[in-house]
A and B are shown apart, each in its own frame.
Chain A
Amino acid sequence: MSILGGGIFKGMAVTLRNFVGSYINKKERLPTNDYSWRADGALPQGIGDYPKEKGEQLSDTTTVTEYSRNFPMLLHDGGEPMDTVRCVACQICERECPPQCIYIEKDYDENGKYIKRPAVFDIDVSVCMSCQICVEVCPFDAIVMNSQFELSTPDRFGGLLVRRDDLLKSNDYYHQIHPEEAAARDQKMAVEKAAKEAKKKAAAEKAKAAAEKKAAEAAKEEAE
């Protein structure tokens, strides 16, 4: 039999080792207070004093990893947001959203014809659970995840309903916060666009060839 009370002494040795270790070996013992062990180069050091480090306000996008997601945002390609917005109000994300937090209304012009942009696009941020399903099902790469988390507001109902104009963010901002993902998405869109152009050109050439053939046949018939 081991020493009387031996298990208790071993336990006390472990706590003493942790006590001393938290002063001299911070990397191993206090990993959540000191971020220097993380491999992401993007994290600032000494971040323990959020939100103000040495008097300067830290942005809330400086602490995220590549894939981290908070709430969605609508993308536009620069310039006046509503001119280059990618969303066409097809309402697929509204249908697929699990907690049903998106509300979309299509936009119609003066004659009542449907133009391809949303008139109303509301996301209730208090319901959204950041699941990313809307991003996956969108066929136009129009909605992606933002990583801003400082959205607290004293207005419990209206303040947490984010409207279309607040959701619109430019593609350059997307490149800033998630560079790899944005680059991959741009490449995919370019490939699709090139494929569409090629198909259109092939269709146009085929049509031209068919039209020429028809014109040649018509001329031949006339000649006979």
Chain B
Amino acid sequence: MSTAAAPNYELIQQDGLETNLLEVSMGPHHPSTHGVFRMDVKLDGETVVDLRPVFGYLHRNHEKLAENMSYLSSMPFTDRLDYFNSMTNNWAYALAAEKLIEVEVPERAEYLRVIMAELTRLVNHVSLVGFFINDLGALGTPLLYAFREREKILDLFEQASGARMMCNYFRFGGLRNDVPEGWLERAGEVVDSFPSFLDEYEQLLCENEIILSRTQGVGNLPRELAINAGVTGPMLRASGVAYDLRKVDQYGIYDRFKFRVPYTDGDTGDCYDRFMIRMLEMRESIEILKQALAGISEGEIMGNAPRVFKPKPAESYGRIEGPKGELGFYLIADGTPKPYRYRVRPPSLINLTVLRDMCLGGKIADAVIILGSIDIVLGEVDR
């Protein structure tokens, strides 16, 4: 699973004294492991000598359940995969299913999909930066500022779809219902007030000497290792590869928007790079949102998908640039209303495979920070 070899520590003889390694299980109940995730670390003083991640505490059988339900009924379960970004999960699944049948998504629905996805990206990145600084020890101040902005966006989601987090909003061929009156103006207000919040946030964080000295040089991920391990998303861009699915695949109507993709200049990335890339990506998302809100027009929101979803035998893979990485759904249809195989490509899990390589040789305080910068959500890791 990882490429680094742990040094061979047996019993270390120092001045005739026998010493042992301290084995600590940073167990499932821990304030900083972002969910029920366990790391078995072996410590030599404060240095991490070996690290073994253990997950599976949140396994809920998502993929097998989907084989017993119709395609529409497993849409609410995709909300709960990566529970911070329910809208983008829905979109990836809808993309995969729309490739199995011939349906055209109307333009207003495409614009609204892009708006919802970029709002989700804002929510995710701002929460992640808040949690990251919280792990560093800032007692929640940046986290609560981030959540204050997140609340405004969650209110927008509630007005559009009825639920704050588990939205269940996307359907095959469009969206479930149109946004209510005045929603676009309210979204415009939120988007307009976001850059000043980002400026204040950057002033609080980005030149703080303590944050700089704790995150720079910590958790180096070389470019070759990142590409070989299949890491995607902001982690890959922080290691120096300019790869963003919105530019590569151009799914939806992303080819109509002008935006830039930030990436590091060099060929390794550390925690500081990942954190800064996410801050810069938020600004690009605001650009896309402004263009989308200006360009949206009236129209239908549901294409003519068949009433009973029974695709012919085929397979499809639909992927999007989720806020955490490449989220993909692989579907095999066999002519019945239920899928034959349903597989999720979870970005958090695949990004997590390089945790051990990044943590070996560092201190235990760094292990927590590195885990925070990978941006995992256990719902996605364990499904």
Q: Do A and B share a complex?
A: yes
By a CB distance below 8 angstroms, the chain B residues around A69 are 162-163
Q: Tell me, rounded to whole Å, the shortest Cβ–Cβ distance linking B236 to chain A.
A: 28
Q: Which residues of A contact B148 (CB under 8 A)?
A: 29, 31-32
Instruction: Determine whether the beta carbon of A129 is less than 8 Å from that of B182.
Output: no
Which interface class (under 10, 10 to 19, 20 to 34, 35 or more) fits A?
35 or more
A133 touches B (CB below 8 Å): yes
A68 contacts the other chain (CB 8 A): yes
The answer to whether B72 touches A67, judged by C-beta atoms less than 8 angstroms apart, is no
8 Å CB contacts to B: which residues of A186-213?
Answer: none
Determine if A171 is an interface residue (Cβ-Cβ < 8 Å).
Answer: no
Any B CB within 8 A of the CB of A112: no
Please report the C-alpha to C-alpha distance between residue A15 and residue B168 in the assembled complex, in whole angstroms. Answer: 37
A39→B155 CA distance, assembly (Å): 11
- Contact call A67/B203, Cβ cutoff below 8 A: no
Q: How far is the CA of A190 from the CA of B166 in the complex (A)?
A: 32
Q: B21-59, CB under 8 A of A: which get 1 and which 0?
A: 000000000000000000000000000000000000000
Q: How far is the CA of A8 from the CA of B177 in the complex (A)?
A: 47
A17 to B210 alpha-carbon distance, docked (Å): 21
User: Cβ of B205 < 8 Å from any Cβ of A?
Assistant: yes
Binary CB contact string for chain A from 116 to 154 against chain B (1 if under 8 A, 0 otherwise): 000000000000011111001100000001000000000
Q: Are B69's CB and A10's CB within 8 A?
A: no
Cβ–Cβ contact B69 & A38, under 8 A = no
Which of B73, B79, B207 gathers most chain A CB within 10 Å? B73
Over the window 165-191 of chain B, the binary record of Cβ atoms lying under 8 Å from chain A Cβ atoms (1 yes, 0 no) is 010100000001100101000100000
Kindly state whether residue A55 has any CB partner on chain B within 8 Å: no
Q: Which residues of chain B have C-beta atoms less than 8 A from A132's C-beta?
A: 162, 168, 176
Chain B residues whose CB sits within 8 angstroms of the CB of A129 once the complex forms: 76, 166
Query: Which listed residue (A7, A10, A98, A130) contacts B77, Cβ 8 A?
Result: A98
Cβ–Cβ contact A10 & B72, under 8 A: no
Determine if A67 and B159 form an interchain contact, defined as CB atoms under 8 angstroms apart.
Answer: yes
Q: Which of A11, A31, A66, A98 contacts B69 (CB 8 A)?
A: A98
Complex alpha-carbon distance, A96 and B159, angstroms? 25
Shortest beta-carbon distance from A147 to chain B in Å: 9
List the B residue with the shortest CB-CB distance to A28. B193
- B interface secondary structure, majority: helix
Do residues B73 and A98 form an inter-chain contact, with CB atoms below 8 A? Answer: yes
Q: Which of B163, B166, B212 lies in contact with A68, CB distance below 8 A?
A: B163
Residue B348 lies at the interface, judged by CB distance under 8 Å to chain A:
no
A131 contacts B76, CB within 8 Å? yes
Whether B73 lies near A96 (C-beta < 8 A) is yes
Given A32-B148, A69-B163; A7-B208 close (CB under 8 Å):
yes
Tell me how far the C-beta of B159 lies from the nearest C-beta in chain A, rounded to whole angstroms: 5
Q: Which chain A residues lie closer than 8 Å to B166 at the CB level?
A: 129-131
A5 nearest in chain B by CB position? B209
Q: Are B73 and A11 in contact (CB under 8 A)?
A: no
In the complex, B160 has a CB within 8 A of chain A: yes
State the Cβ distance, A178 to closest chain B Cβ, in Å: 10
Interface bits A62-106 vs B (CB < 8 Å: 1, else 0): 000111110000000000000000000000000011100000000
Known: A8-B210, A14-B203, A67-B160. A96 touches B155 (CB 8 A): no
Complex partner residue of A66 from B75, B145, B159, CB under 8 angstroms: B159
Please encode chain A, from 1 to 33, with 1 for each CB lying within 8 Å of some chain B CB and 0 for all others.
010011110110111011000000000010110
Partner of B76, one of A7, A39, A98, A145: A98
A133 to B203, CA, bound (A): 45
Q: Is the CB–CB distance between B210 and A133 below 8 Å?
A: no
A7 partner residues in chain B, CB cutoff 8 A: 206-209, 211-212
B161 within 8 A of A: yes
Are A133 and B162 in touch, CB under 8 angstroms? no
Tell me, in angstroms, the Cα distance from A67 to B179 when the chains sit together: 10
Q: In the complex, which residues of chain A have a beta carbon less than 8 angstroms from the beta carbon of B210?
A: 8
In the bound complex, residues from chain B placing their C-beta under 8 Å from that of A96 are: 69-70, 72-73
- Give me the 10 closest cross-chain CB pairs, A-B, nearest first: A7-B207, A131-B76, A67-B162, A14-B204, A7-B208, A69-B162, A98-B73, A11-B204, A7-B209, A65-B159
- Could you write out 30 A-B pairs with CB less than 8 Å apart? A2-B207, A6-B207, A8-B210, A10-B208, A11-B203, A11-B205, A15-B141, A18-B145, A31-B151, A38-B155, A39-B182, A65-B158, A66-B180, A67-B161, A67-B177, A67-B180, A68-B162, A69-B162, A96-B70, A98-B69, A98-B73, A98-B74, A98-B76, A98-B77, A129-B76, A130-B163, A130-B166, A131-B166, A136-B72, A136-B176
**Which B residues have a C-beta under 8 Å from some C-beta of A?**
69-70, 72-77, 79, 141, 145, 148, 151-152, 155, 158-163, 166, 168, 176-177, 180, 182, 186, 200, 203-212
Apart from A67-B177, A133-B75, A133-B76, 14 more pairs, CB < 8 Å: A8-B209, A10-B207, A10-B208, A14-B204, A18-B145, A65-B162, A66-B159, A129-B166, A130-B166, A131-B79, A132-B162, A132-B168, A133-B73, A145-B162
